[in-house]
Amino acid sequence: VLQQGPNYFMAKRLQHWRAMIAAAEGHAVSSNVAPASNTSSVLKNQLLAAAYAGANSGVIPPLKIFDPETSNVLMTYLLLHDLYEHTRRAKGGVRSWSDAEGGLAEHPLNLFATTSVHNGIWRCAYQLRSLLEVVVAYFYITKYNTQLLYTGAIAVGAGAALLRSRI
């Protein structure tokens, strides 16, 4: 989100706030967190394009960037799931993130955590910000495949990752 700028971040926050208010008022809400996808809008940013390509290369095993078609089908099924769950709750059932009275249990952000698709990020041993240089360097190493670039990029990427890592 940081690479996509403050306007994108604010737009997403406004969507989440409105969804939490609507859910608390008992309305049907489907506001799922979509997986990171190789969409044209994301790939316009060269740094993100390199990072996505590097992440898909298998350098960091739990990470997988989805194709847009896969994300579209998955998000459609999650929308249908949310509509089904709202109908079921209206008939007396209880959704997994709701308490017995139909209100939000524990925390309103559970609305987004229950059905979010994390691409393996939540299982990754490192923070993504600390891996960005490594996956970008790996992408350019494999793209240009020269020994000098390989040695220099590994040294710079490893040094930057060690300095930025918060583990």
| Residue 104: Cβ-neighbour burial (10 angstroms; 0-12, 13-18, 19+) | middle
Distance CA 21, CA 29 (A): 10
Q: Which two three-digit tokens encode residue 19?
A: 């969804």
Q: What per-residue confidence (pLDDT) applies to 99?
A: 52
Residue 4 pLDDT level (bands cut at 50, 70, 90):
low
Q: Is 98 helix (H, G, I), strand (E, B) or coil?
A: strand
pTM for the structure as a whole = 0.66
Q: What per-residue confidence (pLDDT) applies to 165?
A: 65
Say if residue 9's pLDDT is above 60.
yes
Range list of H helices, the chain: 6-24, 40-43, 46-56, 68-90, 110-113, 128-144, 147-164
Could you give the count of Cα atoms lying within 13 Å of 52 in the half-sphere of its Cβ?
20
Q: Give the Cβ contact number of residue 66 at 10 Å.
A: 20
List pLDDT tens digits, range 46-72.
888 888 888 887 777 778 889 999 999
Q: What per-residue confidence (pLDDT) applies to 25?
A: 84
